[in-house]
Amino acid sequence: KAMCSGKLQTGLLVAGYFVYLLVGAAVFQALERTAEKQEKMAAAQMKEAFLQNFTCLTVVEMEQFMKNLTEAIQNGVYPVGNKSQTEDSNWDFSNSFFFAGTVVSTIGYGTLRPKTAGGQIFCVFFALFGIPLNIVFLHRVGKMLSLLCKKLGKFLYEKGMRKKKIKFLTLLFFLATGILVFLCLPPLFFQITEGWSYSEGIYFAFITLSTIGFGDYVVGKQPDRNYFSYYRTLVAIWILFGLAWIALLFNL
Amino acid sequence: MLQSLAGSSCVRLVEQHRSAWCFALLVLGYLLYLVFGAVVFSSVELPYEDLLRQELGKLKQRFLEEHACLSEQQLEQFLMRVLEASNYGVSVLSNASANWNWDFTSSLFFASTVLSTTGYGHTVPLSDGGKAFCIIYSVIGIPFTLLFLTAVVQRIIVYVTRRPVLYFHIRWGFSKQVVAVIHAVTLGFITVSCFFLIPAAIFSVLEDDWNFLESFYFCFISLSTIGLGDYVPGEGYNQKFRELYKIGITCYLLLGLIAMLVVLETFCELHELKKFRKLFYVKKDKEEDQVHIMEHDQLSFSSISDQAASMKDDQKANEPFVTSQSPTSNDSSLNN
């Protein structure tokens, strides 16, 4: 009976966490999409005007153009590429979901940023409740991982090893497998899907799992590559388990 | 990550030794570590940034010379380069050339954002050496930061929470729970106004195009260590006293992080919250007293071996806030 209620609690927690993320994604999308569309139209118009006037450009005009360009870039709008790319929104559902995940895990890449006042206020409250929720969630996921360690410890104890040695070996095992699975193997995967070098992949993996999250490397953002569906979901699962492993590691 | 503060071993260290020298050494060591990181980043990255600026300057020259009969392809190429540079925090505009991303104070700011795992991304290591160093620096520095923060927070909690609560409990005669709740809420309000509202007002004045909401948003995103990087203070054109400003912001972020953790610990020590948390963390029923006493020595290390020995499942092996409970159980067992 105790086990049943424990499972139910865990199930509810997991479900609650995903519902929270979905709700966040939907709200972000609703708040940010129109503002983004307007920015894109303005950027396209600016580019058109520039192309029409490019003969006999003065320094002042070019500076003005560059200034506008920089502002557009800082708003997350990249004035390069042809028409079809500008129709993919930065704030469609899967991107908003990814953004919600990065906020709640405190990674915060920053490639996607709420621009409207409403989006920013919502972001604050979303994070205020989402971060503790994320901690509790990761704690539970971490427990799943630690079960492996416990099994190993039991096995070694039955073989007659001393406690201290068991402690040391289980920690070593935990550390080694974690580094292999979360830091060494994914860059190989990223070499194929993103075209990064192996060291860039490690850099990205480390910056992400430590929740620093600069945003200079982000998965699924290169415009000239085809990503298979659920690519970002797979990466999100990797990030989730990796974060749980790191949190568990610090608790050891 | 910083919210799930563990460092149970360093709590032990603090409790056992309790010497001011150990603590002072830790603080000094941590500050020196930050300065060291700033120096290395600055010396590694500044040459590369200089190179990139010169390259962009030449590109601009060529653009000016060739602007007659400019084709779209050429323009696109130019824009891509501008974009790349902008992503690395380098602007092509002439009046922005005064801002360096990798002078000493900016590198210090960068190092502190890396160690606090905030990671704005407005400045990123450009060179391979910088990236590699960033990783190594963090691998050592982030546990160090956790150690540092735990030690500082444990010290502060004694003066800010435990003693006042005890004092008011004895002096006014209210029950400890009530005093603790009132104290926690008051502390929360004071922290929010000192570390969110007042700094937000200051930033909205000092930064040209930030209003109050944006400044508050920046304060929250930074102190929660999310660090999106859409707002970074001190990056405006011709910012006055930029070096001093950057140092001030670094101090603010560090102090703010400590304050957040103190408030978090205070709230976690509330009796009611402990019961609420047990809903999520404890699976099996155990008596309250046994839970408290056991948690004092709670390292997952010992618990794993104990489980192996006793072949029972441990229900609180990896509790993040277990460190906050161990001193409390000491105090409460002494006072009750």
B67 belongs to a structural domain: no
Distance from C-alpha of B304 to C-alpha of B203, rounded to nearest angstrom: 49
Do A116 and A179 belong to one domain?
yes
- When divided into structural domains, chain B yields a total of 1
User: Do B210 and A120 meet the contact criterion of CB atoms below 8 Å apart?
Assistant: no
Q: Do A206 and B135 touch (CB under 8 A)?
A: yes
Residues A142 and A209 in one domain: yes
CB contacts, 8 Å: B92 with chain A: 66, 70
CB–CB contact B304 A149 (8 Å): yes
Nearest CA in chain B to A12: B280
Q: Give the DSSP letter of residue B211.
A: -
Q: Tokens 């304050």 label which residue? A: B259
Torsion angle of the four alpha carbons B241, B246, B252, B253, in this order, in degrees rounded to the nearest 10: 160
With respect to residue B292, please indicate whether it lies within any of the assigned structural domains. no
**Contacts (Cβ under 8 Å, ≥6 apart) of A207:** A213, A214, A217, B119, B134, B135
Q: Are residues A47 and A98 in the same domain?
A: no
Measure Cα distances from B135 to A128, A154, A244 in Å: 29, 35, 19
What are the structure tokens assigned to B302, written together?
């010992």
Is residue A57 assigned to a domain? no
Q: Could you give the CA distance from residue A143 to residue B34 in angstroms, rounded to a whole number?
A: 34
Q: What is the ipTM of this complex?
A: 0.76
Per CB-CB distance under 8 Å, the chain B contacts of A215 are: 119, 121, 229
Q: Count how many pairs of residues, chain A against chain B, have C-beta atoms within 8 Å.
A: 219
Residues A152 and A231 both lie in one domain: yes
| B232: helix, strand or coil | coil
Q: B94, A63 in Cβ contact below 8 A?
A: yes
Predicted local distance difference test score (pLDDT) of residue A27:
56
Residue B282 CA, distance from chain mean position: 29
Assigned token pair, B174: 């209210």
Q: Amino acid identity, residue B20?
A: A
Residue A73 domain flag: no
Q: Which residue of B has its CA nearest to A48?
A: B72
CA A28 from centroid of its chain's CA atoms: 15
Cα A209 versus chain centre, distance: 9
Residue B19 C-alpha, separation from nearest chain A C-alpha, in angstroms: 25
| Residue B184, min C-alpha distance to chain A (Å) | 17
Q: At residue B81, what is the residue type?
A: R
Q: Nearest 5 degrees, angle CA B157-CA B161-CA B162?
A: 90
Work out the minimum CA distance from B105 to partner chain A, whole angstroms: 19
- Whether B90 is in a domain gets the answer no
Residue A179 lies in a domain: yes
What whole-number distance in Å separates Cα of residue B314 and Cα of residue B306?
Answer: 9
Nearest to B4 among A50, A135, A150 (CB): A135
Please name which of B143, B86, B150, B138 lies closest in space to residue B321, comparing C-alpha atoms.
Answer: B150
Total length of chain A: 252
- Examine the domain organization and report whether A23 and A94 are in the same domain: no
Helices H, strands E: what count in chain B?
A: 14, 0
Instruction: Note whether B37 contacts A: Cβ–Cβ < 8 A.
Output: no
Q: Is A200 a member of any domain? A: yes
* Residues of B in Cβ contact (< 8 Å) with A4: none
Q: Residue A188: what residue type?
A: L
Structural domain boundaries, residue A13? 1-52
User: Tell me: the pLDDT tens digits for B308-329?
Assistant: 443 433 334 333 433 333 333 3
**B191 in a structural domain:** yes
How far apart CA A251 and CA B298 sit, in angstroms, is 10
Assign residue B106 the CATH number of its domain: 1.10.287.70
CATH, residue A185? 1.10.287.70
- pLDDT of res. B212: 92
Element (H, E) at A121: helix A117-158
Which residues, at least 6 apart from B144, have a Cβ–Cβ distance to it below 8 Å? Answer: B30, B33, B115
Residues of chain B where predicted confidence (pLDDT) is lower than 70: 1-78, 81-101, 237-239, 271-336
- Min Cα distance A36 → chain B (Å) is 15
Q: Which of residues 67-86 of B touch A (CB under 8 A)?
A: 67-70, 72, 75-76, 79-80, 82-83, 86
Co-location of A95 and A42 in the same domain? no
Tell me if B332 is assigned to some domain: no
- CB contacts under 8 A, B 302-321 vs A, are 302, 304-305, 307-309, 311, 313-314, 317-320
Closest Cα in chain B to A171: B301
Cβ of B308 and A73 within 8 Å? no
Domain that holds residue B244: 101-281
Is residue A17 a part of any domain in this protein?
yes
**Which positions of chain A have pLDDT values less than 50?**
28, 32, 36, 81-87
Residue A158: inside a domain: yes
**Residue A12 has what pLDDT?**
66
List all residues 6 or more positions away from B110 whose beta carbon is below 8 Å from its beta carbon. B38, B41, B102, B123
Distance, in Å, from the CA atom of A14 to the CA atom of A2, rounded to the nearest integer, reads 19
Q: In this structure, is residue B218 part of a structural domain? A: yes
Residue B155: what pLDDT? Answer: 76
Question: Does residue A67 form part of some domain?
Answer: no
Q: Which amino acid is at B8?
A: S
Residue A29 amino acid letter: Q
Nearest to B120 among A6, A67, A110 (CB): A110
One domain for residues A39 and A135: no
> Do residues A148 and A220 both lie within one domain?
yes
Count structural domains, chain A. 2
The whole-number pLDDT of residue B53 equals: 57
Q: Is B19 helix (H, G, I), strand (E, B) or coil?
A: coil
User: What is the pTM for the complete model shown?
Assistant: 0.70
A59 is a domain residue: no
Which pLDDT score, from 0 to 100, does residue B216 have?
93
Nearest CB to A106; choose among B76, B138, B226: B226
Q: Judge contact between A154 and B311, C-beta under 8 A.
A: yes
| Chain B neighbors of A107, CB-CB under 8 A | 226
What gap in Å lies between CA A125 and CA B304, rounded to an integer?
Answer: 38
CB A214 within 8 A of CB B227: no
